[in-house]
């Protein structure tokens, strides 16, 4: 499940990008939602929402990879 996170981390190391995630939780602990936003060099590249923090982070990374790939910046 962490395929996109790993791929983004590997690419960021190769290209010397600064990648970080901003994670927030909304709702009750037992039934809430996590929202994750991924930033590359301080630019928002995507977000994701899931019932787990890990899932939200994975969705955000997948979105960022789609944006990068569509811009032909990732081979």
The pLDDT tens digits for 46-68 are 999 999 999 999 999 999 999 99
Cα separations (Å) of 9 from 5, 26, 30, 45?
Answer: 6, 26, 30, 14
* CA–CA gap between residue 14 and residue 33 (Å, rounded): 32
All domains of the chain in start order, with CATH: 3-70 (3.30.160.20)
Global confidence as pTM: 0.89
The confidence score (pLDDT) of residue 30 equals 87
The confidence score (pLDDT) of residue 29 equals 84
* Composition of the chain by helix, strand, coil, percent to 5: 40, 30, 25
The confidence score (pLDDT) of residue 35 equals 98
Please count the CA atoms within 13 angstroms of the CA of 28 that sit on its side-chain side. Answer: 2
Give the model confidence (pLDDT) of 20-43 as tens digits.
999 999 999 888 999 999 999 999
Average confidence score pLDDT of the chain: 93
């Amino acid at each position: 499940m962490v395929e996109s996170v790993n791929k983004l981390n590997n690419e960021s190391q190769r290209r010397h990008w600064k990648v970080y995630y901003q994670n927030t939780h909304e709702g009750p602990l037992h039934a809430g939602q996590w929202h994750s936003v991924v930033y590359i060099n301080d630019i928002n590249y995507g977000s994701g929402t899931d019932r787990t923090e890990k899932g939200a982070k994975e969705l955000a990374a997948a979105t960022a990879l789609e944006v990068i790939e569509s811009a032909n910046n990732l081979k």
